[in-house]
């Protein structure tokens, strides 16, 4: 890609008031996604620190970088962490993890922590995939669906569009609501054909904001049809990069007639958080056995 | 066409304005043939943009037109594969050029010429050179992405990892050939197999398709005109 | 658990949905051998249950993987469905 309009910021955070040295159990989860990698550290089941970094071409290196960034400024080092679970596309490549668990299970577990035990349906719209997960009150998966074959409905699909229209991706959502009247959605699901369609619309005199609105509408509709397969049970939550795009999110809520829960944490860390919680359970299990 | 003979044939890139392209192609064909519009008896139109033809005409489906056109050129054909920019088609036809069965790959760029076009862009190679490039390949590599957008990213990653361009080009052709041959197997592949449409001009794709099907695949001299030829024959046949 | 493997693209929805609770009690695992394309495999899932799953290499091209068993004419009962004693898998197309 010659120009990168898409670059979510890399960041880290640490709890201002937790002292890890007095914790009985310290666990971590690493989520190596195709676009970004997250690390979450828990001390006695509380979120102690986390980070999000852009995934490089090397998964183990990306995992290490995310971990280091989360540890930054805490005085803690990897040796202090008693159990690490890896998840995400690169989960088998986290060299310092004791176990790998799929991002489906970790996401549900993380969402259960973030949104509380009432969450039952999670829609995760990531950089290169789209997942729908149903879970119970403990965050155990009861049904799931993942689409990573087709770019439509993923961050990458939105990236292509933002690039085409030369609009920074963070501005897409708000721009889509500056239209006077909601236009019909773009008719092509396929991103490649939708691009041609968008160019035709622009030539026909459509303003950029109208094209953006039409594309957000199409993406929202597509995602809703994905959700039809698993069904949507309240409470409903949306995570992942596109979850920050209100142009898509609000249209999804409108079509489903369900409002998504507001998260208490950055939803980008849901997978890593779930992994860290699995790590905690596995640590306790190994301790009780011994 | 007149009396079973082709008077002229023209090709214009559709671009973004289908109607303009259609009109331009028609006007150019008339000019080359030395025929005025009033002397044209019957017009039959086919193709994904057929409704954009502005003058009085009859429309036929692409599969019907393809079958008629192919049998005219190659009477032994029984399976027609047509891969254009937006659609892939598999057609089983009779000796008379009638459609016995068909299957489509539509609305997804991965099974169309748009896929190879996008990959050529990612490889920074003109699309006409893609076939030749893949024939220089020395090793097969897998392609994981099944989507034109993700495949483009995959090609970029492969290039960063210093993978040889011919090997990537070959992987591209093998990927799309695999999709096309799977599609055609749904109608049952019967000899002889004819390939038409824009992608037929890509030797790398033809090679990969032959390997996948395990059969000889014939390509007419001008594979992009077969649909129009079929439409003209249908017009002749019914006047 | 209901696991839906596959995808939706511009041309349609292609999912194999597996009811993994049924897999957990299955002793025979006939599906693996019954599929001529090798679509199914047995995995230990995230909750430590042995269940059937769609092999990773097929998840993004199910339309093509299953195509030989779904010809346009003379379509028969799918071999995987015939082999499974609980009819645990369903095709969406």
Question: Out of A101, A149, A150, whose CB is closest to C46?
Answer: A101
Counting Cα atoms < 13 Å in the Cβ hemisphere of B68 gives 21
B20 touches A: beta carbon within 8 Å: no
State the chains in contact with C (3 or more Cβ–Cβ pairs under 8 Å). A, B
Question: Out of A57, A128, A192, whose CB is closest to B114?
Answer: A192
Report the number of distinct structural domains present in chain A: 2
Question: Out of B16, B108, B149, whose CB is closest to A200?
Answer: B16
Domain assignment of residue B20, given as a range: 1-74+224-239
pLDDT in tens, B115-124: 999 999 999 9
Max avg pLDDT among A116-120, A185-189, B231-235: A116-120
- State whether CATH 3.40.1180 applies to domain C2-91: no
> Considering only alpha carbons, which residue of chain A is nearest residue C4?
A145
pLDDT in tens, A150-204: 999 898 999 999 999 999 998 999 999 999 999 999 999 899 999 999 999 999 9
Give the single-character DSSP code of A16. Answer: T
- Assign residue A158 the CATH number of its domain: 3.30.420.40
A93 and A159: one domain?
no
Would you say residue A148 has pLDDT above 70? yes
CA dist list (Å): A288 to A169, A283, B89: 48, 9, 62
Chain A residues closer than 8 Å to C21 by CB: none
Q: Which residues contact B120 (CB under 8 A, 6 or more apart)?
A: B126, B127, B129, B130
A34 and A104: one domain?
yes
Please say whether the dihedral angle defined by the alpha carbons of residues A242, A247, A249 and A251, taken in this order, is positive or negative.
Answer: negative
Residue C92 confidence (pLDDT):
96
A196 touches B: beta carbon within 8 Å: yes
Question: Out of A102, A104, A188, whose CB is closest to C10?
Answer: A188
Q: Does A149 contact C92 at a Cβ distance shorter than 8 Å?
A: no
Which of B181, B182, B213, B214 best tests the C interface by mutation, with the highest count of C CBs <10 A? B182
Q: Rounded mean pLDDT of C38-48?
A: 94
Residue A7 confidence (pLDDT):
55
Q: Is C76 helix (H, G, I), strand (E, B) or coil?
A: coil
B37 and B85: one domain?
no
Counting Cα atoms < 13 Å in the Cβ hemisphere of A231 gives 9
Q: Does C10 contact A152 at a Cβ distance shorter than 8 Å?
A: yes
Answer whether residue A211 is part of any domain.
yes
C46 touches A: beta carbon within 8 Å: yes
Expressed in angstroms, the distance from the first to the final Cα of chain B is 12
> Considering only alpha carbons, which residue of chain A is nearest residue B108?
A190
CA dist list (Å): A132 to A226, B25, C41: 8, 48, 22
A248 and A124: one domain?
yes
Q: What whole-number distance in Å separates Cα of residue B172 and Cα of residue B156?
A: 13
Report the number of distinct structural domains present in chain B: 2
Residues 35-94 of B with CB under 8 A from C: none
Q: Does A150 contact C7 at a Cβ distance shorter than 8 Å?
A: yes
pLDDT above 90: percentage of residues in chain B: 71
B7 and B64: one domain?
yes
Residue A4 confidence (pLDDT):
40
B99 touches C: beta carbon within 8 Å: no
Q: How far is A269 from chain B (nearest CA, A)?
A: 24
pLDDT in tens, A26-47: 999 999 988 889 999 999 999 9
B59 and B162: one domain?
no
pLDDT in tens, A197-243: 999 999 999 999 999 999 999 999 999 999 999 999 999 999 887 88
> Considering only alpha carbons, which residue of chain A is nearest residue B87?
A193
B21 and B82: one domain?
no
Q: Which residues contact A287 (CB under 8 A, 6 or more apart)?
A: none
Would you say residue A5 has pLDDT above 50? no
pLDDT band at B111 (very low <50, low <70, confident <90, very high): very high
B183 and B103: one domain?
yes
Query: Directed axis angle between helix B226-237 and helix B62-73, to 10°?
Result: 90
CA dist list (Å): B216 to B58, B73, C55: 35, 17, 32
A191 and A218: one domain?
yes
- Assign residue B32 the CATH number of its domain: 3.30.420.40
Q: Select from A64, A80, A70, A74 the least CA-distant residue to A27.
A: A80
Q: Select from A77, A18, A33, A54 the least CA-distant residue to A275.
A: A33
pLDDT above 70: percentage of residues in chain A: 97
Question: Out of A57, A192, A196, whose CB is closest to B148?
Answer: A192
| Two tokens, residue B148 | 């034109």
Residue B39 confidence (pLDDT):
84
Min mean pLDDT across A8-17, A78-87, B183-192 is at A8-17
Chain C residues closer than 8 Å to B105 by CB: 11
Answer whether residue A19 is part of any domain.
yes
Q: How far is A70 from chain B (nearest CA, A)?
A: 27
Would you say residue B239 has pLDDT above 60? no
Would you say residue B228 has pLDDT above 70? yes
Chain C residues closer than 8 Å to A226 by CB: 8
Q: What whole-number distance in Å separates Cα of residue A211 and Cα of residue A162?
A: 11
Q: Which pTM was predicted?
A: 0.91
B238 and B175: one domain?
no
B127 and B84: one domain?
yes
B147 and B166: one domain?
yes
Q: How far is A189 from chain C (nearest CA, A)?
A: 5
B150 and B193: one domain?
yes
The 10 Å CB-count burial string (b at 16+, else e) for A101-113 is bbbbbbbbbbbbb
Q: Report the 10 Å Cβ neighbour count for B232.
A: 25
| Two tokens, residue B144 | 């994981």
B83 and B70: one domain?
no
Question: Out of C17, C46, C60, whose CB is closest to A149?
Answer: C60
Element (H, E) at A157: helix A155-165
A41 and A100: one domain?
yes
A127 and A256: one domain?
yes
A145 and A252: one domain?
yes
Element (H, E) at B226: helix B226-237
A236 and A138: one domain?
yes
B84 and B169: one domain?
yes
State the chains in contact with B (3 or more Cβ–Cβ pairs under 8 Å). A, C
Answer whether residue A3 is part of any domain.
no
Give the single-character DSSP code of A243. Answer: G
Would you say residue A277 has pLDDT above 90? yes
Q: Which residues contact A194 (CB under 8 A, 6 or more apart)?
A: A152, A161, A186, A188, A215, A218
Q: How far is B185 from chain C (nearest CA, A)?
A: 7
B159 and B208: one domain?
yes
Answer whether residue A207 is part of any domain.
yes
Q: What whole-number distance in Å separates Cα of residue A28 and Cα of residue A68?
A: 12
pLDDT band at A281 (very low <50, low <70, confident <90, very high): very high
Residue A8 confidence (pLDDT):
64
- What mean pLDDT is reported for chain A? 92
Q: Rounded mean pLDDT of B117-140?
A: 96
> Considering only alpha carbons, which residue of chain B is nearest residue C59?
B146
- What mean pLDDT is reported for chain B? 92
Residue B78 confidence (pLDDT):
97
Question: Out of C4, C9, C92, whose CB is closest to A150?
Answer: C9
Chain A residues closer than 8 Å to B149 by CB: 151, 156-157, 160, 191-192
Domain assignment of residue A61, given as a range: 11-112+268-289
Q: What whole-number distance in Å separates Cα of residue A71 and Cα of residue A78?
A: 8
């Amino acid at each position: 890609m010659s120009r990168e309009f898409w670059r979510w910021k890399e960041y880290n955070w640490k709890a201002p008031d937790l002292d890890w040295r007095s914790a009985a159990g310290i666990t971590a989860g690493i989520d190596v996604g195709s676009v970004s990698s997250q690390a979450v550290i828990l001390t006695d089941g509380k979120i102690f620190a986390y980070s999000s970094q852009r995934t490089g071409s090397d998964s183990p290196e990306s995992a290490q970088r995310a971990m280091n960034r989360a540890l930054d400024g805490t005085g803690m080092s990897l040796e202090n962490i008693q159990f690490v679970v890896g998840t995400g596309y690169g989960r088998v490549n986290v060299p310092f993890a004791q176990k790998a668990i799929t991002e489906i299970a970790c996401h549900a577990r993380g969402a259960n922590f973030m949104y509380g035990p009432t969450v039952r349906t999670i829609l995760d719209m990531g950089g290169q995939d789209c997942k729908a997960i149903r879970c119970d009150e403990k965050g155990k998966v009861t049904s799931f669906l993942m689409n990573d074959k087709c770019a439509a409905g993923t961050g990458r699909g939105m990236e292509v569009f933002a690039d085409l229209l030369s609009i920074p991706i963070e501005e897409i959502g708000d721009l889509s609501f500056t239209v006077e009247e909601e236009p019909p959605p773009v008719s092509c699901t396929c991103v490649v054909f939708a691009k041609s369609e968008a160019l035709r619309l622009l030539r026909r005199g459509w303003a950029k904001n109208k094209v953006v609105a039409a594309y957000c509408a199409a993406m929202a509709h597509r995602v809703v049809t994905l959700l039809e397969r698993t069904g949507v049970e309240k409470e409903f939550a949306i995570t992942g990069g596109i979850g920050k795009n209100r142009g898509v999110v609000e249209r999804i809520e409108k079509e489903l007639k369900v409002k998504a829960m507001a998260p208490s944490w950055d939803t980008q860390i849901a997978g890593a958080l779930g992994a860290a919680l699995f790590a905690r359970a596995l640590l306790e299990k190994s301790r009780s056995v011994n | 066409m007149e009396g079973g003979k082709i008077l002229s044939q023209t090709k214009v890139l559709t671009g973004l304005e289908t109607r303009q392209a259609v009109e331009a192609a028609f006007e150019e064909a008339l000019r080359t043939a030395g025929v005025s519009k009033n002397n044209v008896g019957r017009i039959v139109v086919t193709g994904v943009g057929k409704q954009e033809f502005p003058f009085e005409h009859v429309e036929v489906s692409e599969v019907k037109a393809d079958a008629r056109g192919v049998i005219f050129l190659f009477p032994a054909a029984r399976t027609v594969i047509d891969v254009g920019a937006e659609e892939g088609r598999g057609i089983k036809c009779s000796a008379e050029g009638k459609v016995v069965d068909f299957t489509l790959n539509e609305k997804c760029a991965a099974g169309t010429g748009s896929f190879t076009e996008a990959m050529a862009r990612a490889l920074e190679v003109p699309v006409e050179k893609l076939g030749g490039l893949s024939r220089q390949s020395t090793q097969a590599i897998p392609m994981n992405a099944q989507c034109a957008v993700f495949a483009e990213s995959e090609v970029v990653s492969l290039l960063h990892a210093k993978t040889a361009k011919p090997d990537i080009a070959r992987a591209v052709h093998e990927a799309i050939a695999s999709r096309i041959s799977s599609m055609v197997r749904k109608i049952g592949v019967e000899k002889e197999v004819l390939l038409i449409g824009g992608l037929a001009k890509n030797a790398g794709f033809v090679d990969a398709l032959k390997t996948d099907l395990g059969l000889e695949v014939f390509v007419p001299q001008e594979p992009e005109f077969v649909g129009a030829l079929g439409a003209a024959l249908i017009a002749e046949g019914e006047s | 658990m209901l696991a839906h493997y596959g995808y939706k693209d511009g041309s349609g929805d292609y999912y194999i949905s597996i009811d993994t609770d049924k897999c957990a009690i299955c002793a025979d695992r006939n599906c693996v051998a019954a599929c001529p394309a090798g679509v199914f495999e047995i995995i230990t899932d995230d909750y430590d249950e042995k269940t059937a799953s769609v092999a990773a290499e097929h998840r993004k091209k199910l339309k093509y993987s299953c195509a030989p068993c779904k010809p346009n004419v003379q379509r028969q009962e799918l071999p995987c469905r015939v082999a499974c004693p609980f009819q645990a898998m369903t095709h969406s197309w």
